[in-house]
Amino acid sequence: EVQLVESGGGLVQPGRSLRLSCAASGFTFDDYAMHWVRQAPGKGLEWVSGISWNSGSIGYADSVKGRFTISRDNAKNSLYLQMNSLRAEDTALYYCAKAPLKWLLRNWFDPWGQGTLVTVSS
Amino acid sequence: EIVMTQSPATLSVSPGERATLSCRASQSVSSNLAWYQQKPGQAPRLLIYGASTRATGIPARFSGSGSGTEFTLTISSLQSEDFAVYYCQQYNNSRTFGQGTKLEIK
């Protein structure tokens, strides 16, 4: 069974940093691209970032470009999101999601983890 | 950025009846469209990809149609567990989601 388990969320002050992790199991991790998708409280879904199987292709939403960095460690079956210069509008539940392919092109998301909550507030 | 617009925002339907949800793209996304279901407190679940292909384990009462800019998710004979929020997502050019349609019990 494919499992994605996020961790690393919490309460952080504006301008500070946080690093999210996603532990994957039940599939060959380095055969697939991976993504982060977020959902602000009571709001819809927003794609944040994606990374190809070999980290050779990476993409970011404009809202996080220059502040967030996605990475993966295939040896540890793990996905990461380094979030710097956090803002109140980054407050959301952050989901890790698996892509159907190795590359970022033509990616939908299946499955999703249960999410980790990031709250940016002073 | 491709903008996805879902309608209606809220749909009230009785159990056993059919529900039709719409999703419109601001430019053509070909058939590169997915649908997700999200229940309160849960992560989204993939229902449909490629505009009309059901994901593994999704019941046949869920069907998707459309291409280009107009898409429809149809749920025939609604079951109690189908009342949830539904999102469409295009993956033709980067990835963007619609704002969601809440399907509620009438």
Per-residue pLDDT tens for A7-65?
999 999 999 999 999 999 999 999 999 999 999 999 999 999 999 999 999 999 999 99
Give the pLDDT score at A63. Answer: 97
B88 phi and psi angles, rounded to 5 deg: -100, 155
Cα B33 to Cα B24: distance, rounded to the nearest angstrom:
10
Query: Strand (E) positions, chain B?
Result: 4-7, 10-13, 19-25, 33-38, 45-49, 53-54, 62-67, 70-75, 85-90, 96-97, 101-105
Between chain A and chain B, the number of residue pairs with CB atoms below 8 A apart is 50
Give the pLDDT score at B40. Answer: 96
Is B97–A46 a contact, with Cβ atoms under 8 angstroms apart?
yes
Closest Cα in chain A, distance from residue B49 (Å): 7
Is A44–B98 a contact, with Cβ atoms under 8 angstroms apart?
yes
Closest Cα in chain B, distance from residue A97 (Å): 10
B9 CB near a chain A CB, below 8 Å?
Answer: no
Round the average pLDDT of chain A to a whole number and report it. 97
- Chain A residue closest in CA terms to B6: A44
**Residues of chain B falling short of pLDDT 50:** none
Residue A122: count of CB within 10 angstroms of its CB: 9
Cα A90 to Cα B60: distance, rounded to the nearest angstrom:
37
